[in-house]
Homo-oligomer: A and B are copies of this chain.
């Protein structure tokens, strides 16, 4: 009864709580693992999961002088370009500095186009300050610039700025859309179709919202393409126990690095129309296309090219971000979503929902503006901007190829071409003995493999199980972002480790 000693009488709530099983373990706290939101407990996010926490511990141990078979941890677990040494685009940062401290507009060190962009953004801000709230949907002129960007990108397909919402990174837009979609209980609970492998934001958000995750598998043998028959199988299966309402696609793919063909996108749109599904297109890697013959096609563009029977009916939300492509500005949490064919009453609800969070971070909105309204031919910053952009994208293309090639030289590792995005997701053969040992330890086999690699080499990858994979197959996700020299060392170490691991457990 120690825990009651400070109270004249046992508080009522506490007495009730005592009745439940595990309360005593937590010294009668109000909020315990047993009394907390069960949906939160179900959420998983491998990209920042246990392996990353261990990596951070190891880094600390290294700093404290603990001896390891390596001198640094190489983090290839997350698409964090600047952390891996990629340089920001000069023009973007000049404008952000000008917007942050407008006194600099009087300085001669900045090019005129940077100043005029800054002036335009500031004029659109309350009190001409990045420190004012923007309208809930985002700064008007930024949404107009986004709309014009989408129109240019999609060969003139019209875009209404009123359909554009500025978001806190793409993640925030995706979660908001899922939140609108989810309702019902039991067999009428909302189901959302997501690719497997998937980016774990989706599974986590669905767990959070208590929705049903409906898996469809990408075809690894056909470079992670989407098969119509698999979509049909998955949907038919799901309809037995829930109400599937939405289909999510990530293109270019995360973690799988494929770029979907125009034909595939057409098929998916037709499928969504036929099956009455809301489409969500995660297109944050739209500039990250490397493989010859591959091209980015936005769902919006293909939807409109399929004609009015589709473009007037299929509901689509597409997402973009400042975090990827050639800018890699993750820390600013900038992004937008465009909604097409959304019911006007629902749109009003969406606007209300985002208004409660007040607004997306205004510096991120400003950055999003620069991405969609970058320097144009004839402007003073154009040449430097293009040089920087091209250099970054070429380097990524080179590293994508390098990664694929080296990984495919390793017996027991098979890697699809990294056509786009920022990751390879190779298939790894694990010896039966390793699988057994992992299971004995209560670990998923590819987690066991990645954890061992981290301890032995300092390389931090994410196990395939964190993204989902076909039963009995194993993978890891590795970013292609480290500088070329370091990437080569990393790949050599992965090779060496894989051979050693295979031998050890054979």
Tell me the A residues contacting B by CB distance below 8 Å. Answer: 3, 5-7, 11-14, 17, 26-33, 35-38, 40-41, 43-45, 48, 56, 78, 80-86, 88, 93-94, 96-98, 100-101, 104, 107, 109, 125-127, 129-136, 168-169, 171-172, 179-183, 200-201, 204-205, 208, 239, 243-246, 273-278, 309-310, 313, 315, 327-333, 341-343, 345-346, 349, 352-353, 355-364
Contacts and interface: CB of A to CB of B under 8 A. Distances in A.
Contact of A30 (B245, B352, B357, B363): B245
Nearest to A315: B30
Contacts of A33: 343, 345-346, 349
A330 B276 contact: no
Nearest to A114: B101
A83 B133 contact: yes
Contact of A31 (B6, B35, B126, B181): B181
Nearest to A169: B358
Given A83-B127, A276-B11, A43 B352 contact: yes
A347 to B, nearest CB: 10
Contacts of A27: 313
B133 A357 contact: no
Contact of A82 (B31, B127, B181, B358): B127
Contacts of A332: 130-131, 361-363
A125 B331 contact: yes
A364 B130 CA distance: 11
Contacts of A343: 26, 29, 31-33
22 contacts: A11-B276, A13-B245, A13-B277, A30-B245, A31-B180, A31-B278, A37-B180, A38-B183, A80-B133, A82-B132, A85-B127, A86-B127, A88-B129, A93-B101, A125-B331, A130-B331, A131-B330, A133-B331, A168-B361, A171-B358, A204-B356, A361-B363
Given A7-B274, A13-B243, A13-B276, 5 more contacts: A17-B276, A35-B183, A40-B352, A100-B100, A129-B331
A307 to B, nearest CB: 9
A341 B276 contact: no
Given A355-B48, A356-B43, A131 B328 contact: yes
Contacts of A309: 5-6
Contacts of A358: 48, 169, 171, 330, 333
